[in-house]
């Protein structure tokens, strides 16, 4: 009999024999980093993204499960929130969906969330759907206003939003006073990176 | 150019709308001998879509319901100026539909063959021929390289205002009353029969009433209690400053949303997509302007230094399958012509002719038999673009 | 244009995709004896007013909510914005 | 003779620039415009007019300029129709005159001016028709060759352009006195303010006029105000920025010229197109002066009076020793006063009979109630002739017919301006929307103290709206200004032509003629005469034309009303509006996970939407694409091939109601799909037309994975969200796209199982355990997460294996390495296409958006028992006609013959006309498996016509092939191979 399709069971039951081949990760932008003056652009490659959808009809149960698991409330629309231990950053994505961002510690990031939440919520690994770019520095707003329709001067810590830049879907998260995390679909990551780099080059002598 | 008469009490035919409607009145008088006709225009002559478009004429249609009609229109264009003795500057310098992929080529080939089978003209060009004809297109650095084009040499442009004026002058001389600044406020319908209209200049009686009001179709027909398979959308059009001649004809960019020609005065006349939302504002917003210019720069990067001089917004009667309706209604004596989407200008002569035919004979013209109201109910849509009941995508 | 999203506040219309008349929520019941006629009218016949229009917009480059926007088609003034799901639920869907 | 005063003006005499005009070198200063520098060098004759090629010179000092258009820059950097009055001078600037044949001085087309009796308004329409062919062959080419003004280089625009987004509480448009003050008041109150002005120097008329504010010079006041504005963090100053359009909900379009981007010097953007999102806006765009009609009033050396003041005071240009001023209002007298103060001999001709008696200025002469009938001098004015015949020798002439508030931005949303009798001009209408207010002379306030006060009042109103503190209204002490005007539009006692629209060469006579021919609406006037349609958009001429028009019709100007003001306020380069989206950056590029590997193999790529996909993988020695594709097909069919199919849309669908949801969005049933199984899904639009197709895999009780076609991934997701939120909001179902998350590979061919066995971890791939249409989560290559689907597009024993996309490149390498013993090949989209045609699978070419399940032969898949999207309307009679088109296969009767997609079908022996058209060929391939060309296509009643021979008619390519109708399943029709 072939085994249950569920990935969690696959892992928990282990495997008897493994193939002789190895797969190596190769994200498109891996290792690219760059300074623009004092502004730093870094490709984040170790952070997992897991989506959690909230089951219809059990919103309240989910909310309390969530709070029990992570020591914080669900993020408000347009906002992000850290878990109490600050290991997880949750982004509000839609009325019934949030993203959990955390340091990846295994092959199955969805399991990390599943272990915390139990069977409440529908979970999908989104890590490979997105490229993640972290920007830090004082001139980010000046550069990003060339491509970002959001008002980044009024985008305080704890805000996040999905929008469109240069025809590309993107998610912005204010991570620190001088720092933003940006997500954009991984297949077009190269175009996204070029758009950001060009914005710096157009706005300063870097 | 034309008289400015007060409306009479009764006409054989009243036509509402002086765009296609003016053409209809002209052919009614000239071809069908019905001269006791009034054309009612809410604004000034040419204030509707006839005077707000990118002036392109072509008959490069795909579907059997459409192609013979548009080819009929093309032939009328070709004899138009001699017909009404007014120079509308019909300029058949060709229309080039660029394609960028094999599936697009296949679709254009199917279309080109439809055109040839219908007696129109079509040529499939490869990249080398296009390079000779249009050396200024982006071949080296294009995101979507040009693979070829469907060319209709007889396509081209016409001076749009002159079309209005020419038909008006012609109709006026045949006895048609052109009544400007006369808005229809209601229909006189008794026992399922339309006997006339109410207007801002008082009631006017008629044996038959034809409605041909483009983007205002839903509004006007609502006065007769009808709901239409139609939405009104804004389409922006653009013209650049005058430039020395630099384009050979009409060029359309298949991987973006951009079509362009150059007027006799030297302006680049161009356009793209609808703004995309229902609107009666007759003006659009900036994102569409940018989108159109992006398409323009992507395909012909020499136009970066040409300046956009004016833009305007027309009210498009976007139908549910992207094709028009020329048909009688369930109300006796009330006829409708609309749903031209943003292809109405090129149709002006045939639309007028077929409307005149319908008004005069109560039967559809043989090139316009598919343009029926009941085609949606029966599943006989004429959907050139294949996007379904989504008017803003046609 | 700017659409004042009920959850997220004002956002550029460029983030949205337009569908059309909000009556598209009110999909007929297949089991109705007149279903054929109702589906035809539902899909093809639209109010197309010059003035107040309730219409569907999708926040595709945002939170993926479908919204019911009440907008004046003559002036483009937006009078009200609701989550379409709430509207649909209130209609008993 | 014009010259430069030895001192004074707002130019930086420390920085002199050399520039070239018509190939001669000249000198100017930093702070000059090209126009001021040319005037200072006594260059009056600059351009030829559009229609009559008359000599023209600088007329204004701003973006309203109708005359002084030049071709700026060299070669590919060359910009046509550039207003010399708007060009900020820079070192080595190069400009040339335009619109002449031979030379500016000796223009062959100057003959047009002599032919003018035949070239009046609308002349085209009445002539050039006979004989018929002559229009296209003769007349039109001639007219076209004389069309336009400047030239495009024909080369790609080499400049860079950028765009951006700005947000503010209050946008102030215009940096004159009212704008500066509005911005200051709003800035001090703490509001986020943006102040934009099209000039490179803020200050507006205070740069041109000699005024005092609170005992400071206007210039000192400007400098002090700007200094304070610059000190405020919440204020952003945008000089060189024209706000060109007012759009919905407080959004404005603005174009900033970047002075740091000089042609060819660096790659910085030349302009930035700003979309400014404002909560409130204050329009302080000032006013534009208009002229008066009189004979030859277009000659070089005739300037608007305000412009002459600008050249005099701001640019220190001396307009000769003897200057005449023709005015109907007080503002003109300011020019006379400033000229007189510079000890220039001024003759004032004031149309008003009773003015000027009390003036103490030392004018050379003052003629009250005077009128200029004509001027002398072709390429530069040398004297004026008064209506009474008196001649006065002059070096230049200043004209003021009054001022028109720049109401444009207030009208872009169709608010009509209203006529104000007192100032004889249109002012902004009532009920401006989206928080717009108007201050200063844009609102018809022409004296400085009112202007300043309105700046404060307006800013306070905006601040109050937004909940900011307001300020006291200060008192302003300014010079006393009077603004009296008596309407006077044109001089009647003239013999020569009086010009109204200088650029499009429209005269007072043309306006009368249009009226006489029945063009009595202002829009008709505009269209028939082309008045106001030139690059200056008639900013100095429209109102004068209206006045003349209303005189003819007997209506008031108010009744006559204006044409519609539309964006843009000034012409905007198309390149600037496109920004970065051109060339390769026109749209984003999406790469497949194995792109790098494919690149190394020398794959040929093809655009499919935004994706780049490998089309085929040529090997050394293969010179024609067909060689590569045939090899890939045969190798796959004979052993095994691998294709990156990651571009297919993938949607995770989860929830307790997921099955119910899928059952409603697909035409075929989905309630009973077992866990671990895949089912083909046919998705329709509500109108019963096929929308998309793909597979649905049930990975777990409440977890499905949907695939869509590459092209429709986004559209299907949108449609599903609509169904989920709007149609069935109670269902517990959740969607998320995972298209980019998974690298997915088709592994196809008889050895596909053997190949996969080498890389999967302890997974039983046998037909018994993992049959056709099975699916599973599993691990590969030592514990890597993967999904496996046993589905086949090629018709072979085949699988699709998915791994997280960052492992995709490595997965491709691994499959190639592990597959060496099977002679595995990578195959591209061409081979994929060939195999699907051989197998009779439809794809994008068949799904035209007009195709029904019936057309595809899938009508039995559409469940009649359930309510799913499109089922009801798919039953309409027109979509189910018995002789409707059906998808079938075609083979050439002569197997050596080829045919193409796009050919139409005509029954044998029938005439090849549209009436006999029975369908068309949708997809064609050469089948290396069968050894001849095969095709799929739609033909009427096709399923009942197997074996019939029809013509595949392709007149477009001169091809006409007899083809036999057959089953679309050319290859392994029983499907034994894919189930094996």
The C-alpha atoms of residue D202 and residue D223 are separated, in whole angstroms, by 9
Q: Which of the four pLDDT bands, split at 50, 70 and 90, describes residue A3?
A: very low
Distance between D164 CA and the closest CA of chain C, angstroms: 13
To the question of domain C2-90 being in CATH 3.30.70.3000, the answer is no
pLDDT for residue A14 is more than 90: no
ipTM over 0.90: yes
Distance between D246 CA and the closest CA of chain B, angstroms: 9
Lowest mean pLDDT among B68-72, B73-77, D140-144, D188-192: D140-144
Domain extents for chain B? Answer: 10-54+161-228+321-393, 96-153+231-319
pLDDT at D152: 96
pLDDT for residue D172 is more than 80: yes
In a domain, A12, yes or no: no
Q: What is the pLDDT of residues B25-77, one digit of tens each?
A: 999 999 999 999 999 999 999 888 888 889 999 999 999 999 999 999 999 99
Contact C46 B390 (CB under 8 A): no
For the domain that residue A150 is a member of, what is the CATH number? 3.30.1360.120
Q: What is the pLDDT of residues D753-803, one digit of tens each?
A: 999 999 999 999 999 999 999 999 999 999 999 999 999 999 999 999 999
B225 at C interface, C-beta within 8 A: no
Contact D805 A186 (CB under 8 A): yes
The C-alpha atoms of residue D350 and residue D333 are separated, in whole angstroms, by 9
For the domain that residue D935 is a member of, what is the CATH number? 2.40.30.110
The helix or strand, by DSSP H or E, that contains position B308, with its residue range, turns out to be: strand B307-319
Strands (DSSP E) contained in chain C are 2-5, 9-12, 17-21, 52-58, 66-72, 78-83
pLDDT at D130: 64
How many contacts, defined by CB atoms under 8 Å, are there between C and D?
73
The architecture of the domain spanning B96-153+231-319 is 2-Layer Sandwich (3.30)
Contact B289 D577 (CB under 8 A): yes
In a domain, A20, yes or no: no
The C-alpha atoms of residue B267 and residue B246 are separated, in whole angstroms, by 10
Distance between C16 CA and the closest CA of chain A, angstroms: 10
Determine the residue among B113, B315, B373 to mutate to test chain D binding: the one whose Cβ has the most chain D Cβ atoms within 10 Å. B113
The C-alpha atoms of residue D435 and residue D84 are separated, in whole angstroms, by 35
Residue of C nearest to B228 (CA): C45
The C-alpha atoms of residue A147 and residue A197 are separated, in whole angstroms, by 11
Q: What is the pLDDT of residues C26-41, one digit of tens each?
A: 999 999 999 999 999 9
pLDDT for residue A47 is more than 90: yes
Contact D734 A198 (CB under 8 A): no
Mean pLDDT, residues D613-633? 97
The count of C-alpha atoms lying within 13 angstroms of the C-alpha of A76, restricted to the half-sphere facing its C-beta, is: 6
The C-alpha atoms of residue B200 and residue B68 are separated, in whole angstroms, by 39
pLDDT for residue D822 is more than 80: yes
pLDDT for residue D26 is more than 60: yes
Contact B280 C50 (CB under 8 A): yes
Please state the φ and ψ torsions of residue D586, each to the nearest 5 degrees.
-55, -45
Distance between A50 CA and the closest CA of chain C, angstroms: 16
Do D188 and D250 lie in one domain? The reply is yes
Interface of D with B in 97-126 (CB under 8 A): 124-126
Contact A192 D588 (CB under 8 A): yes
D806 at B interface, C-beta within 8 A: no
Q: What is the pLDDT of residues D301-342, one digit of tens each?
A: 999 999 999 999 999 999 999 999 999 999 999 999 999 999
The helix or strand, by DSSP H or E, that contains position D298, with its residue range, turns out to be: none
The C-alpha atoms of residue B140 and residue B160 are separated, in whole angstroms, by 36
Contact D687 B389 (CB under 8 A): yes
pLDDT at C15: 97
- Chain C residues in contact with B282 by the CB 8 A cut-off are none
pLDDT at A27: 67
Do D631 and D602 lie in one domain? The reply is yes
Q: Which of the four pLDDT bands, split at 50, 70 and 90, describes residue A12?
A: very low
pLDDT at A11: 41
Facing residue for A128 by CB, picked from D596, D656, D804? D804
| Closest by CA position to D163, among listed D238, D271, D320, D70 | D271
Mean pLDDT, residues D90-99? 93
B231 at C interface, C-beta within 8 A: yes
At residue D855's C-alpha, the angle toward residues D853 and D858, to 5°, is 40
pLDDT for residue A2 is more than 50: no
Distance between B265 CA and the closest CA of chain D, angstroms: 5
Q: Which CATH superfamily is domain B10-54+161-228+321-393 in?
A: FAD/NAD(P)-binding domain (3.50.50.60)
Contact B278 C1 (CB under 8 A): no
B263 at D interface, C-beta within 8 A: yes
C54 at B interface, C-beta within 8 A: no
pLDDT for residue A13 is more than 60: no
Do D630 and D756 lie in one domain? The reply is yes
Strand duo D742-748 + D690-700: pairing: unpaired
CA torsion angle D963 D967 D972 D976 (round to 10): 180
In a domain, D90, yes or no: yes
Q: Is D802 exposed, middle or buried (0-12, 13-18, 19+ CB in 10 A)?
A: buried
Helices D448-466 and D177-188: angle between axes, nearest 10 degrees: 30
CB C28 within 8 A of CB C44: no
CB D398 within 8 A of CB D331: no
D165 at A interface, C-beta within 8 A: yes
B374 at D interface, C-beta within 8 A: no
Distance between D260 CA and the closest CA of chain B, angstroms: 18
pLDDT for residue A10 is more than 50: no
Lowest mean pLDDT among A42-46, B124-128, B349-353, D695-699: A42-46
B166 at D interface, C-beta within 8 A: yes
Mean pLDDT, residues A14-34? 75
CB B127 within 8 A of CB B139: yes
Determine the residue among A11, A12, A13, A19 to mutate to test chain D binding: the one whose Cβ has the most chain D Cβ atoms within 10 Å. A19
Q: What is the pLDDT of residues D709-720, one digit of tens each?
A: 999 999 999 999
β-partners of residue C66 are C58
pLDDT at A19: 77
Do D12 and D113 lie in one domain? The reply is yes
Q: Which of the four pLDDT bands, split at 50, 70 and 90, describes residue A5?
A: very low
For the domain that residue D728 is a member of, what is the CATH number? 3.30.70.1400
Facing residue for D573 by CB, picked from B89, B307, B380? B307
Direct distance between the N- and C-terminal alpha carbons of chain C, in angstroms, rounded to an integer: 30
| Closest by CA position to D199, among listed D451, D570, D577 | D570
Average pLDDT, chain D: 94
Q: D607 CB contacts (<8 Å, ≥6 apart)?
A: B100, B101, B143, B144, B145
Residue of A nearest to C64 (CA): A94
Lowest mean pLDDT among A32-36, B13-17, C56-60, D40-44: A32-36
Distance between D699 CA and the closest CA of chain A, angstroms: 6
Domain hosting D630: range is 590-647+741-836
Facing residue for A96 by CB, picked from D587, D734, D759? D734
Mean pLDDT, residues D840-860? 96
Q: What is the pLDDT of residues B256-282, one digit of tens each?
A: 889 999 998 899 999 999 999 999 999
Contact C61 A78 (CB under 8 A): no
Facing residue for D588 by CB, picked from A16, A126, A168? A168
Distance between D465 CA and the closest CA of chain A, angstroms: 20
- Chain C residues in contact with D726 by the CB 8 A cut-off are 24-25, 56, 66, 84-85, 87-88, 93
β-partners of residue B253 are B258
Domain extents for chain C? Answer: 2-90
pLDDT at A106: 78
Number of structural domains (chain D) is 5
Number of structural domains (chain A) is 1
B373 at C interface, C-beta within 8 A: no
Do D279 and D414 lie in one domain? The reply is yes
Mean pLDDT, residues D463-484? 90
Q: Which residue has the tokens 């020019």?
A: D335
């Amino acid at each position: 009999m072939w085994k249950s399709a569920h990935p969690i069971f696959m892992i928990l039951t282990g495997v008897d024999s493994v193939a002789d081949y190895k797969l190596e990760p190769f994200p498109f932008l891996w290792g690219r980093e760059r300074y623009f003056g004092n502004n730093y652009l870094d490709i984040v490659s170790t952070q997992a993204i897991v989506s959690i959808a909230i089951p219809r009809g059990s919103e309240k149960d989910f909310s309390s499960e969530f709070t029990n698991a992570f020591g914080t409330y669900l993020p408000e629309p347009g906002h992000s929130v850290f878990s109490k231990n600050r290991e997880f950053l949750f982004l509000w994505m839609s009325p019934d969906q949030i993203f959990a961002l955390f340091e990846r510690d295994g092959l199955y990031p969805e399991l990390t969330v599943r272990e915390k939440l139990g069977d409440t919520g529908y979970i999908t690994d989104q890590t490979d759907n997105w490229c993640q770019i972290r920007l830090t520095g004082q001139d980010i707003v000046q550069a990003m206003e060339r491509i970002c329709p959001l008002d980044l001067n009024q985008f305080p810590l704890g805000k996040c939003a999905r929008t469109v830049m240069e025809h590309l879907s993107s998610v912005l998260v204010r991570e620190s006073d001088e720092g933003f995390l940006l997500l954009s679909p991984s297949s077009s990551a190269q175009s996204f990176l070029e758009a950001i780099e060009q914005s710096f080059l157009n706005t300063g002598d870097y | 150019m034309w008289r400015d008469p007060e409306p009479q009490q009764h006409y054989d035919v009243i036509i509402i709308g002086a765009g296609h409607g003016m053409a209809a009145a002209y052919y009614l008088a000239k071809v069908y001998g019905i001269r006791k006709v009034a054309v009612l225009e809410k604004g000034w002559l040419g204030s509707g879509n006839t005077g707000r478009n990118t002036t392109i004429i072509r008959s490069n249609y795909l579907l059997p319901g459409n192609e013979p009609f548009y080819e009929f229109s093309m032939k009328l264009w070709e004899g138009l100026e001699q017909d009404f003795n007014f120079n509308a500057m019909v300029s058949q310098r060709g229309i080039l539909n660029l394609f960028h992929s094999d599936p697009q080529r296949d679709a254009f080939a199917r279309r080109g063959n439809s055109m040839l089978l219908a007696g129109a003209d079509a040529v499939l060009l490869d990249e080398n021929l296009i390079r000779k004809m249009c050396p200024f297109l982006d071949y080296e650095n294009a995101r979507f390289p040009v693979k070829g084009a469907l060319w209709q040499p007889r396509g081209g442009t016409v001076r749009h205002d002159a079309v209005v004026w020419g038909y008006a002058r012609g109709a006026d001389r045949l006895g048609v009353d052109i009544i400007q600044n006369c808005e229809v406020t209601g229909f006189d319908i008794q026992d399922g029969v339309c006997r006339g209209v109410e207007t801002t200049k008082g009631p006017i009686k008629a044996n038959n009433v034809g409605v041909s009001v483009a983007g205002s179709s839903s509004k006007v027909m609502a006065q007769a209690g009808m709901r239409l398979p139609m939405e009104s959308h804004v389409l922006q059009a653009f013209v650049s400053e005058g430039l020395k001649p630099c384009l050979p004809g009409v060029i359309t960019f298949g991987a973006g949303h951009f079509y362009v020609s150059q007027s006799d005065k030297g302006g680049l006349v161009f356009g793209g997509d609808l703004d995309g939302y229902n609107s009666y504002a007759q003006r659009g917003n900036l994102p569409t302007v940018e989108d159109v210019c992006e398409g323009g720069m992507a395909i012909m990067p020499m136009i970066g230094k040409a300046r956009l001089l004016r833009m305007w917004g027309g009210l498009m009667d976007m139908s549910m399958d992207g094709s028009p309706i020329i048909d009688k209604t369930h109300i006796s004596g009330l006829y409708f012509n609309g749903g031209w989407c943003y292809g109405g200008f090129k149709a002006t002569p045939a639309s007028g002719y077929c409307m005149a035919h319908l008004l005069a004979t109560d039967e559809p013209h043989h090139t316009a038999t598919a343009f029926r109201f009941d085609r949606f109910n029966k599943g006989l849509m004429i959907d050139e673009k294949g996007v379904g009941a989504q008017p803003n995508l046609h | 244009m700017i659409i004042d999203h009920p959850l997220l506040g004002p956002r550029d219309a460029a983030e949205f995709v337009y569908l059309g008349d909000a009556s598209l929520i009110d999909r007929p019941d297949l089991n109705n004896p007149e279903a054929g006629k109702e589906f035809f009218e539902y899909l093809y016949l639209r109010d197309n007013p010059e003035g107040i229009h309730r219409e569907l917009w999708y926040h595709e480059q945002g939170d993926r909510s479908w919204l019911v926007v009440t907008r004046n088609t003559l002036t483009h003034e937006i009078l009200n914005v609701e989550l379409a799901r709430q509207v649909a639920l209130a209609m008993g869907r | 003779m014009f010259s430069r005063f030895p001192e004074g003006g707002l130019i930086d005499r420390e920085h002199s620039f050399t520039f070239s005009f018509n190939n001669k070198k000249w000198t100017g200063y930093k702070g000059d415009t090209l126009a001021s520098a040319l005037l200072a060098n006594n260059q009056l004759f600059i351009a030829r007019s559009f229609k009559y090629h008359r000599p023209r010179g600088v007329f204004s000092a701003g973006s309203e300029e109708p005359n002084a258009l030049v071709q700026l820059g060299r070669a590919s950097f060359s910009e046509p129709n550039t207003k010399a009055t708007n060009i900020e001078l820079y070192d080595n600037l190069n400009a040339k005159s335009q619109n002449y044949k031979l030379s500016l001085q000796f223009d062959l087309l100057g003959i047009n001016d002599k032919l003018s009796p035949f070239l009046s308004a609308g002349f085209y329409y009445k002539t050039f028709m006979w004989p018929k062919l002559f229009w296209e062959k003769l007349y039109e080419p001639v007219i076209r060759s004389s069309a336009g003004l400047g030239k495009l280089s024909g080369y790609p625009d080499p400049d860079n352009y950028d765009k951006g987004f700005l947000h503010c509480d209050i946008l102030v448009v215009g940096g004159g006195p009212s704008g500066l003050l509005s911005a200051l008041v709003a800035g001090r109150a703490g509001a986020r303010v943006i102040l934009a002005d099209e000039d490179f120097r803020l200050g507006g008329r205070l740069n041109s006029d000699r005024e005092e504010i609170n005992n400071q010079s206007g210039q000192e006041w400007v400098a002090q105000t700007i200094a304070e504005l610059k000190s405020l963090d919440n204020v952003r100053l945008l000089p060189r920025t024209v706000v060109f359009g007012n759009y919905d909900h407080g959004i404005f379009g603005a174009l900033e010229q970047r002075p740091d981007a000089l042609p060819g010097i660096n790659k910085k953007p030349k302009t930035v197109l700003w979309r400014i999102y404002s909560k409130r806006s204050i329009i302080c765009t000032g006013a534009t002066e208009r002229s008066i009609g009189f004979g030859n009033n277009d000659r070089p050396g005739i300037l608007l009076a305000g412009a002459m003041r600008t050249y005099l005071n701001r640019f220190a240009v001396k307009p000769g020793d003897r200057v005449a001023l023709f005015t109907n209002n007080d503002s003109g007298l300011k020019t006379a006063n400033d000229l007189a103060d510079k000890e220039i001999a001024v003759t004032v001709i004031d149309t008003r009979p009773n003015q000027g008696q009390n003036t103490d200025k030392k004018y050379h002469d003052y003629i009250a109630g005077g009128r200029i009938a004509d001027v002398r001098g072709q390429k530069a004015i040398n004297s004026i002739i008064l209506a009474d015949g008196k001649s006065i020798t002059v070096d230049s002439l200043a004209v003021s017919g009054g001022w028109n508030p720049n109401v444009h931005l207030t009208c872009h949303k169709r608010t009509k301006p209203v006529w104000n009798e007192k100032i004889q001009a249109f002012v902004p209408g009532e009920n401006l929307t989206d928080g717009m207010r108007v201050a200063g002379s844009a609102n018809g306030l022409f004296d400085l103290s009112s202007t300043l006060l309105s700046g404060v009042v307006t800013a306070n109103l905006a601040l109050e709206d937004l909940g900011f503190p307001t300020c006291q209204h200060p008192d302003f002490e300014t010079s006393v200004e009077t603004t009296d005007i008596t309407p006077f539009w044109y001089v009647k006692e003239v013999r020569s032509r009086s010009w109204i629209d200088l650029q499009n060469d429209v005269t007072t006579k043309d306006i009368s003629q249009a009226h006489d021919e029945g063009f009595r609406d202002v829009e008709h006037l505009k269209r028939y005469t082309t008045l106001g349609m030139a690059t200056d958009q008639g900013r100095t001429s429209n109102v004068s034309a209206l006045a003349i028009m209303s005189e003819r019709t007997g209506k008031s100007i108010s009744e006559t009303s204006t044409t519609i003001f539309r964006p843009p306020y000034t012409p905007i380069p198309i390149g600037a509006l496109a920004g970065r989206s051109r060339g390769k950056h026109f749209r984003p590029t999406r790469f497949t996970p194995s792109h790098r590997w494919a690149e190394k193999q020398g794959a040929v790529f093809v655009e499919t939407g935004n994706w780049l996909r490998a089309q085929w993988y040529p090997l050394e020695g293969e010179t024609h694409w067909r060689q590569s594709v045939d090899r890939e097909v045969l190798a796959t069919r004979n052993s095994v091939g691998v294709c990156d199919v990651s571009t297919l849309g993938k949607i995770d669908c989860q929830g307790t109601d997921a099955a119910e949801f899928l059952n409603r969005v697909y035409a075929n049933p989905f309630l009973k799909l077992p866990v671990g199984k895949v089912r083909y899904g046919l998705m329709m639009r509500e109108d019963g037309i096929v929308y998309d197709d793909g597979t649905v895999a049930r990975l777990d009780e409440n977890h499905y994975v949907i695939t869509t076609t590459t092209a429709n991934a986004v559209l299907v997701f949108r449609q599903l969200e609509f169904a989920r939120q709007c149609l069935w909001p109670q269902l517990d179902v959740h969607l998320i796209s995972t298209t980019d998350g998974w690298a997915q590979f088709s592994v196809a061919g008889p050895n596909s199982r053997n190949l996969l066995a080498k890389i999967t971890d302890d997974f039983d791939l046998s037909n018994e355990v993992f049959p056709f249409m099975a699916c599973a989560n599993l691990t590969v290559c030592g514990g890597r997460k993967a999904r496996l689907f046993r589905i086949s597009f090629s018709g072979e024993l085949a699988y699709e294996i998915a791994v997280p996309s960052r492992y995709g490149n490595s997965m491709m390498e691994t499959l190639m390495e592990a597959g060496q013993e099977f002679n595995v090949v990578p195959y591209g989209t061409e081979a994929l296409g060939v195999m699907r045609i051989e197998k009779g699978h439809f794809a994008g070419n068949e799904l035209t958006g007009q195709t029904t399940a019936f057309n595809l032969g899938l009508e039995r898949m559409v469940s009649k028992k359930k309510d799913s999207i499109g089922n009801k309307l798919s039953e309409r009679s027109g979509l189910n006609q018995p002789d409707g088109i059906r998808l079938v296969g075609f083979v050439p009767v002569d197997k050596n013959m080829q045919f193409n997609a796009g050919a139409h079908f005509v029954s044998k022996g029938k005439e090849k006309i549209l009436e006999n058209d029975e369908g068309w060929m949708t997809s064609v391939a050469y089948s290396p498996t069968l050894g001849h060309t095969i095709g799929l296509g739609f033909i009427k009643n096709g399923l009942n016509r197997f074996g019939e021979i029809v013509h595949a008619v392709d007149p477009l390519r001169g091809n006409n092939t007899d083809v036999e109708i057959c089953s679309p399943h050319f290859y392994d029709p029983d499907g034994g191979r894919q189930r094996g």
